[in-house]
Amino acid sequence: MRDFYHGYGSLEKMLPISLTLISAFFLFPLILIKWKFHGKSCKQTPSLPPGPTPWPIVGNLPELWRNKPAFRWIHGLMESLNTEIACIRLGGVHVIPVTSPELAREFLKKHDIVFASRPLSMSTKYASRGFKSTALVPWGDQWKKMRKLVVSQIINSTTTRWLLNKRTEEADNLVRFIYNQCKNADDHSINGSVVDVRLAARHYCGNVIRKMIFNRRYFGKGKKDGGPGVEEVEHIESLFTILVHLNAFAVSDYLPCLTPLDLDGHEKIVSEAMKIVTSYEDPIVDERIRRWRDGEKTDAEDLLDAFILAKDSNGKATLSVEEIKAQITELMLAAVDNPSNCIEWTLAEMLNQPEILQKAVEEIDRVVGRERWVEESDIPQLNYVKACAREGFRLHPIAPFNVPHVSMQDATVAGHFIPKGSHVILSRYGLGRNPRVWKEPLRFKPDRHLKKEEDGFSMADDQMVELVEHELRFISFSTGRRGCLGIALGSAMTVMPLARLLQGFFWSLPPNQEEIDLSESTNDLYMAKPLRAHANPRLAASLYPAE
């Protein structure tokens, strides 16, 4: 009996081992089959675009933090990987930079609806006042409501024509401002002068959008020579501060738990800039609403009136006060950067290639003459001037990347897996300078937009030149559902001041300077030094505005 129990105990110990071996014997083929088919499915699943190996949890944020500015690190990384699409994981977000026009069209045309949302970032939250505007707002009812209103009642061909006289007034004021700087302070004789072109271009844009929205050029008294006052300078500088920090790869946007620390300092900078912007804009909005409410105002004169008077199908006000203020700030941000940057860079490039400048001036003289000022109605015929502006947009974009497009579901684009929630950033910098697309990509060559060249991408001679680039070989106004709503306005605000500057003044290098320094700023794509150029009037004195 003892032997029996002893044998039974041994059997009891051996039984689990035996069962394990038997289970393994029968399950192994099933596991093998499952592994085989799983392997096949894995092979069939597209892979992410190439990119650096991410760290656990933080992803590639350490590399981003060490290599500032981020956009230069990203482009250098893509060059080292020899790729036109990459995947960089920042925290839990897959960031997908793109430098290929073919891939850009895949994202914004073929798969436009999938990538039609926007990220929830700190800077865009401040700039849109809690996501109450249009361009920076994620996909949803708020965006649909605001976009429908802006397209139907605010930024369209009707209102653009309605406010033409206000833009013309600011084109006249730009000429007056430059002309007054050419005067001798003692006897008012005209000797020419070195002009800060960046100041002139930025404040022309600021004046135009202020006049269109608020029907006023200045927040304060301005200057007698037509230049900006202290208030306008502060307002414009604050807008550009916000623009520089929009979607600027703040660490807290990818690791929200770090938001209270504000490691980059971006929240403090953006919030303070927004306080300045709202301190100028909000009182005007509040006062205008009061005047309409009290019956002191009865006629619409500007876009602010159009916002206030917008009604829904039931005759009720469409927008809240906060939505009006948010959309006005967004229009301000959208209007001041692209045109002014293009004007400054384009004139700088032309000064280093005087034959290009001369060709543009000759076109204006041929189309317009020298007895009147160029008007917006002349723009369709100024193909070479527009080609110069297109080349400015291509070679010198205002920002390294477009506003991110967020994927609303998993997608496969050009054989790559793009997970839901990814931030797709089209590289303005990389698209416009892609050597596979553009011959001599770093050379300023306006003629490439007028006639066919070896690259096969240029426009035919008989086509009218447009600033918008439909094939996304560079980005001026983007495309798709989230494309710019004010292409016609933005084009006019770019070509008109450039043409006026070329028509109204002889431009040359400052004294004792052999060429314009075309260096880019380290942390952004502005000129490292504001463009200063010598201007001298070239038309009859009677044509220059005297107010």
Q: Do residues 148 and 17 share a domain?
A: no
What is the chain's Cα-based Rg? 29
Span 385-408, mean pLDDT? 97
Q: Do residues 217 and 73 share a domain?
A: no
Does residue 130 have a pLDDT over 70?
yes
**Spatial contact of 513 and 483, defined as CB atoms under 8 Å apart:** no
Q: Do residues 195 and 318 share a domain?
A: yes
The per-residue DSSP string of 236-288 comes to: HHHHHHHHHHTT---GGGT-GGGGGG-TTSHHHHHHHHHHHHHHHHHHHHHHH
For residue 182, being part of any structural domain is answered with yes
Span 441-466, mean pLDDT? 75
For residue 49, being part of any structural domain is answered with yes
Name residue 286's amino acid. D
For residue 270, being part of any structural domain is answered with yes
Q: Do residues 172 and 256 share a domain?
A: yes
Handedness of CA 408, 413, 419, 425 (dihedral sign): negative
Tokens of 462: 């008989």
**Spatial contact of 123 and 247, defined as CB atoms under 8 Å apart:** yes
The overall longest dimension of the chain from CA atoms, in Å, is 132
Percentage of the chain exceeding pLDDT 90: 82
pLDDT value for 20? 41
The 3 state secondary structure assigned to 170-186 is: HHHHHHHHHHHHCECCC
Span 445-473, mean pLDDT? 76
Question: Which of the listed residues 118, 142, 170 is the one where a domain comes to its end?
Answer: 118
pLDDT digits over 327-354, tens only?
999 999 999 999 999 999 999 999 999 9
Q: Do residues 114 and 128 share a domain?
A: no
Question: Which of the listed residues 91, 118, 145 is the one where a domain comes to its end?
Answer: 118
How far apart, in whole angstroms, are the C-alpha atoms of residue 323 and residue 203?
A: 26
Span 288-309, mean pLDDT? 96
For residue 414, being part of any structural domain is answered with no
For residue 428, being part of any structural domain is answered with no
How far apart, in whole angstroms, are the C-alpha atoms of residue 446 and residue 311?
A: 45
Please name the residue that has the structure tokens 């350490």.
62
The per-residue DSSP string of 75-102 comes to: HHHHHHHT-SB--EEETTEEEEEE--HH
Span 149-157, mean pLDDT? 88
Q: Which one is predicted more confidently, 185 or 407?
A: 407
**Spatial contact of 422 and 406, defined as CB atoms under 8 Å apart:** yes
Instruction: Categorize the per-residue pLDDT at 478 as very low, low, confident or very high, splitting at 50, 70 and 90.
Output: confident
pLDDT value for 90? 97
Does residue 38 have a pLDDT over 90?
no
How far apart, in whole angstroms, are the C-alpha atoms of residue 281 and residue 328?
A: 8
Structural domain boundaries, residue 15: 2-118
Q: Do residues 137 and 45 share a domain?
A: no
pLDDT value for 22? 40
61: Cα separation from own chain's centroid: 23
Taking Cα atoms as reference points, which of 213, 272, 217 lies closest to residue 239? 272
How far apart, in whole angstroms, are the C-alpha atoms of residue 486 and residue 483?
A: 9
**Spatial contact of 455 and 437, defined as CB atoms under 8 Å apart:** yes
- Please give the DSSP secondary-structure letter assigned to residue 117: B
Does residue 433 have a pLDDT over 90?
yes
Instruction: Categorize the per-residue pLDDT at 378 as very low, low, confident or very high, splitting at 50, 70 and 90.
Output: very high
**Spatial contact of 417 and 406, defined as CB atoms under 8 Å apart:** no
Does residue 538 have a pLDDT over 70?
yes
**Spatial contact of 327 and 307, defined as CB atoms under 8 Å apart:** yes
For residue 413, being part of any structural domain is answered with no
pLDDT value for 234? 97
Q: Please state, in angstroms and as integers, the Cα–Cα distance from residue 196 to each residue in 84, 454, 531, following that order.
A: 37, 38, 6
- SS3 of residue 136 by DSSP: coil
How far apart, in whole angstroms, are the C-alpha atoms of residue 100 and residue 430?
A: 8
Span 404-416, mean pLDDT? 97
| Beta pairing class for 93-98 and 423-426 | parallel
Please name the residue that has the structure tokens 């941000």.
333
How far apart, in whole angstroms, are the C-alpha atoms of residue 375 and residue 372?
A: 9
Q: Do residues 216 and 307 share a domain?
A: yes
How many domains, in total, are found in the chain? 2
Please name the residue that has the structure tokens 């600011």.
170
How far apart, in whole angstroms, are the C-alpha atoms of residue 200 and residue 180?
A: 12
Span 480-503, mean pLDDT? 94
Taking Cα atoms as reference points, which of 499, 217, 258 lies closest to residue 379? 499
Q: Average pLDDT over the chain, rounded to whole?
A: 90
Span 264-288, mean pLDDT? 97
For residue 154, being part of any structural domain is answered with yes
How far apart, in whole angstroms, are the C-alpha atoms of residue 346 and residue 502?
A: 11
Q: Do residues 446 and 327 share a domain?
A: yes
Q: Do residues 88 and 132 share a domain?
A: no
Cα angle value 365/375/496 (rounded, 5°): 90
Q: Do residues 176 and 221 share a domain?
A: yes
Residues comprising the chain, all counted? 547
**Spatial contact of 101 and 472, defined as CB atoms under 8 Å apart:** yes
Cα angle value 32/35/40 (rounded, 5°): 130
Where are the extended beta strands (E) located within 330-384? none
**Spatial contact of 83 and 48, defined as CB atoms under 8 Å apart:** no
Please name the residue that has the structure tokens 């579901």.
409
How far apart, in whole angstroms, are the C-alpha atoms of residue 154 and residue 209?
A: 13
For residue 371, being part of any structural domain is answered with yes
Span 268-277, mean pLDDT? 98
Question: Which of the listed residues 118, 138, 163 is the one where a domain comes to its end?
Answer: 118
Does residue 547 have a pLDDT over 60?
yes
Q: Do residues 175 and 309 share a domain?
A: yes
Does residue 271 have a pLDDT over 50?
yes
Q: Do residues 350 and 366 share a domain?
A: yes
CATH number for the domain that contains residue 338: 1.10.630.10
